[in-house]
Structure 1
Amino acid sequence: MGGGGPRRDRAQTSRRKIHHLAFFDPLTELPNRLLLIERLEAALAESERTGQSGALMFIDLDNFKVLNDTMGHSRGDLLLQRVAERLQRSVRKADTVARIGGDEFVVMLQGLGTDPHSAALKTKTVATKVLARMSEPFDLGDYQHYSTVSIGVTGFGAQPTGVSELLKQADLAMYQAKSAGRDTIAFFDPAMQAAVSASAALGADVRAALQAGDQFSVHYQPLFNQQRCVTGVEALLRWRHPARGAVSPAEFIPIAEDTGLILPLGHWVLEQACAQLAAWAERPETAQLSIAVNVSVRQFRHPEFVDQVIAAIRRHRVAPRLLKLELTESLLADRMEITLEKMDTLKQLGVTLSLDDFGTGYSSLAYLKRLPLDQLKIDKGFVADVLTDPSDAAIARAIIELAHSQGLSVIAEGVATEEQHRFLVDHGCDLFQGFLLAKPMSIGALEEFMDQHRDTATAPLHE
């Protein structure tokens, strides 16, 4: 019985540490984006209930990258810490100062009164004070650094406003301040609303399309081995808007990410892929084809993601190895242990794991050794200039060698010319994807394509 107290104390200490790691920026000790959003949601609910006004200030350091590049990251980190301290001294204890990434800080002011005009004046006073304090020199040990900031401001009050929209408004205002010459303040106004409104309208259309059930479809882009035989496909989401026609994924996927609609969209694509694998399993000529599904960071980090994958595999009775999940390098930016745990679970299930756009993000050799991967995918940006840019050629060769040394296969995406294909084959790349070989196509077109080329797999395959 005597050991219960110390154990409880250790457990409480562990919980506090976990909470701190989850909600606070380790460099500045400020609340991070997660905690800011949590507090902002509470503040918005309070404002709706009481009519009290508040404000959000988006603060970005001007020319921070120049300091980082010329003076080194240690000085850059020290400046960020000094900025955090100065911001905290510029506002009340009841206000929130958060670091949401890089050189971006957000200040949330609450309890500014029920008169919007008076609240706006108070906000302007605080923003002006912050601007002045940030222009004073920063002591970075043996170096005095002069810096300025651009500040974007938006207010909130009794009228319902979403967290995402409010952050966008402050962000838009901040960019307005930068375009006005930096070292200045810009307040969000309806003239900036067009971009936010268009984004919100498209988000509403995505939601409506999900409910309609007939606007989204999955197209498939084949993957080829060195002999130009199709070994599998990548599932790609497509949207045909009833009024606008085809909408580029580059336009609607970021909005789906921002609104959380990527979760039902991603789940739908996963189900479609597993259903297609089940259909292909009935035919000997397609029974061994794999399907790759792109997984967003938000989708992967959802608590139910692994369970959804397991359920889809069991529901459709497909071989797990034929389902390939393409993960993005940005998953490796933080929460590494949670990421590894989920990847290990999926790997033990038998699912194939691929790291997409390798070489563009956060991967390091140390991480790569720890990740239970099967495959690396060379980003199309490296493939495009592999014949004209010696550094891109060297990167492509290094990725192939590195992957093979770790027992991983390599896919090159964006292969557009015979010369690119030959270079990659000569250097040992295993699989290929790109318009030279085949474009994304509907399931009907894909099956017709495979039927036509089944007996001529070594000939050049153009759609």
Structure 2
Amino acid sequence: MLLKEFGARIQKAIRPKDIVARIGGDEYLILFEEIGTTVADAKKILEEAIERILEGFIEHHDLGDGVYVQAKASIGIVIFGDQESQFDDILKYADLAMYAVKSDPHLSHRFFDLGLMEQFKQKSNYFARLKNACALKQISIVYQPVVDRNQDVVAYEALARWNDPEFGIVMPDDFIPFAEKNGLIIEVGNIIIENIFSNQDLWNSPENDQQPDVMINISAHQLMNLGFAKKFIASCEQFHIPMNRIHLEITESINIGNIDAAIEVMLFLNKQGVRFALDDFGTGFSSLTYLQKLPIQYLKIDKSFVAGLGVSSDDEAIATNILILARGLGIKVIAEGVETQAQFEWLLSKGCDYFQGWYFGQPVDSLKF
């Protein structure tokens, strides 16, 4: 409903001959034609349109039941001629300009320029290196323990690392969003899962049923793809992986564009024994929506709240209410980023179920702690 209203407000702000289309999630594409014969003319027409669009976003949006929200637009602009560039490149240029706006809270819009062109070249190089990393299997896995209230290890979270000859060790927060945005996430995700499943120390034990579970992070693209679910099950069968030992983690801040498709995939995997955890809970705008609609068995309190325990009354209040909410919904809670005994004891006293952080063990490439 909200996205439809945004689209209507944008349409109202532009000329009848201009075209607006939603291209995924909360992103819209506007095509302006006949905007003058010079760059100066074009910029004048576009600046006026942008001002009208931004005015539409300043107004509060009524969601019903007395709930109002105010949105912020980040606009990237590319001016091009009839014979210039390929359409895919033009979209990438606009994307770069938009993300430049997102990274600067003082900007509402930006035109693509030569400085961003250099960033585009660097991005193209990054894309080629990451694609090559998949082919050369330069993506490795480290494992961090998750413990119960008795500090017994009950699971390991598998965390990806990209071992690049030039960049060194690249953390997942740096390359996974890039892979998602640039069409590499399925390829990268397949390499990560194959790496985890082929780890003999992790799976092939005579006491398999008593071994800790394994938590694997997946992206929104994977979550909404039934083909991914079927391939995932086939991989489990190929490597003889018991699916009841697998937890798939989805980050609370990801944009699940088609929540019905995501639910279908999750229920399909639930039936095979796979469980789901909602990661980084409380850091995004979709927390309660995802918790209400998605078949989640665990949620993870974000480490930013855990860091404030014993220091910030606000963080303590948030953590307390997350635990109360989860308990009421029958969902188990894992606290991330536990680094001190004081944090552990505070969480214990509030009834937290599981714990993860350097206090119990840092990520290592071997399971022999």
The verdict on a shared fold, with TM-score over 0.5 as the criterion, is yes
1:162 aligns with 2:85: no
Tell me how far apart the structure 2 counterparts of residues 242 and 122 of structure 1 sit (CA, whole Å): 47
Tell me how far apart the structure 1 counterparts of residues 58 and 318 of structure 2 sit (CA, whole Å): 40
The equivalent residue for 1:193 is 117
1:107-122 aligned within 5 A = 107-109=30-32, 118=37, 120=39
Structure 2 unmatched runs, 5+: 61-71
Q: Please tell me whether the aligned partners of residues 176 and 186 of structure 1 are also in contact (alpha carbons under 8 angstroms).
A: no
How far residue 322 of structure 1 moved from its aligned partner, in angstroms, is 0.4
Tell me how far apart the structure 1 counterparts of residues 249 and 170 of structure 2 sit (CA, whole Å): 22
The equivalent residue for 1:313 is 236
How far residue 407 of structure 1 moved from its aligned partner, in angstroms, is 2.5
Q: Which amino acid aligns with 1:162?
A: D
Tell me how far apart the structure 1 counterparts of residues 306 and 39 of structure 2 sit (CA, whole Å): 51
Q: Please tell me whether the aligned partners of residues 24 and 257 of structure 2 are also in contact (alpha carbons under 8 angstroms).
A: no
Tell me how far apart the structure 1 counterparts of residues 104 and 330 of structure 2 sit (CA, whole Å): 50
Q: Which amino acid aligns with 1:300?
A: L
Q: Deviations over 1:64-108 (max 9, x none)?
A: xxxxxxxxxxxxxxxxx5453121xx251xx32246799975421
Tell me how far apart the structure 2 counterparts of residues 293 and 149 of structure 1 sit (CA, whole Å): 33
Structure 1 unmatched runs, 5+: 1-20, 31-80, 142-147, 450-463
1:356 aligns with 2:279: yes
The secondary structure found in structure 1 opposite 2:179 is: helix
Q: 1:338 to 1:119 in 2, by over 3 A?
A: farther
Q: Deviations over 1:344-399 (max 9, x none)?
A: 111111101111112223122x7535432221111111111021112221222222
Q: Deviations over 1:48-71 (max 9, x none)?
A: xxxxxxxxxxxxxxxxxxxxxxxx
Match of 1:126 among 27, 31, 45: 45
Q: Of the two, which has the highest radius of gyration?
A: 1
Tell me how far apart the structure 2 counterparts of residues 309 and 225 of structure 1 sit (CA, whole Å): 28
Q: More helix per residue: 1 or 2? A: 1
Count of aligned pairs between the two proteins:
354
The equivalent residue for 2:358 is 435
Q: 1:85 to 1:102 in 2, by over 3 A?
A: farther
The equivalent residue for 1:84 is 11
1:259-274 aligned within 5 A = 259-274=182-197
* TM-score with structure 2 setting the length: 0.82
How far residue 118 of structure 1 moved from its aligned partner, in angstroms, is 3.9
The secondary structure found in structure 1 opposite 2:361 is: coil
Tell me how far apart the structure 1 counterparts of residues 58 and 196 of structure 2 sit (CA, whole Å): 56
Tell me how far apart the structure 2 counterparts of residues 132 and 390 of structure 1 sit (CA, whole Å): 41
Q: Please tell me whether the aligned partners of residues 154 and 188 of structure 1 are also in contact (alpha carbons under 8 angstroms).
A: yes
Tell me how far apart the structure 2 counterparts of residues 134 and 169 of structure 1 sit (CA, whole Å): 20
Instruction: Identify which range, 387-396 or 425-434, moves more after superposition.
Output: 387-396
The secondary structure found in structure 2 opposite 1:162 is: helix
Tell me how far apart the structure 2 counterparts of residues 83 and 265 of structure 1 sit (CA, whole Å): 36
Q: Please tell me whether the aligned partners of residues 266 and 295 of structure 1 are also in contact (alpha carbons under 8 angstroms).
A: yes
Q: Which amino acid aligns with 2:167?
A: R
How far residue 251 of structure 1 moved from its aligned partner, in angstroms, is 2.0
Q: 1:130 to 1:331 in 2, by over 3 A?
A: closer
